[in-house]
Chains A and B, each alone.
Chain A
Amino acid sequence: MASNTEQTAGQTPKSTKGIGIALFALAIVLFVIGVVGTKDPALSIHPMDQFELKPAFGGKEISLFTVTNGAVWNFLAVLAVLALMVVGTRGRAIIPSRVQSIAEMAYGFVHKMVEDVAGKDALDYFPYIFTLFLFIVMTNFLGLIPTSFTPTAQIAVTVVLALAVFIAVTVLGFVKNGVSFLGLFWVSSAPLALRPVLAIIEVTSYFVRPVSLSIRLAGNVMAGHAVLKVFAGFAGALGAFAVLPILGVVAIYALEVLVSFIQAYVFTVLTCVYLKDALHPSH
Chain B
Amino acid sequence: MEGDIANLGQYIGAGMGALGAGIAALGVGNVAGNFLAGALRNPSAAAGQTATLFIGIAFAEALGIFSFLVALLLMFAV
Chain A: residues with CB nearer than 8 A to chain B?
113, 116-117, 208, 211-212, 215-216, 219, 262, 265-266, 269-270, 273
Contacts and interface: CB of A to CB of B under 8 A. Distances in A.
Contact of A273 (B55, B62, B66, B69): B55
Contacts of A216: 58, 61-62, 65
B51 interface: yes
Contacts of B57: 266
Interface in B41-78: 48, 51, 54-55, 57-58, 61-62, 65-66, 68-69
B20 to A, nearest CB: 13
A116 B58 CA distance: 17
A212 B62 contact: yes
> Looking at chain B's contact residues, is the secondary structure mostly helix, strand, loop, or mixed?
helix
A212 B51 contact: no
Contact of B54 (A211, A212, A215, A262): A262
B69 A266 contact: no
B54 A266 contact: yes
Interface residues of B, number: 12
Contact of A269 (B54, B62, B65, B66): B54
Contacts of A215: 65, 68-69
B68 A269 contact: no
29 contacts: A116-B51, A117-B51, A117-B55, A208-B62, A208-B66, A211-B65, A211-B66, A211-B69, A212-B58, A212-B62, A212-B66, A215-B65, A215-B68, A215-B69, A216-B58, A216-B62, A216-B65, A219-B65, A219-B68, A262-B54, A265-B54, A266-B54, A269-B51, A269-B54, A269-B55, A269-B58, A270-B55, A270-B58, A273-B55
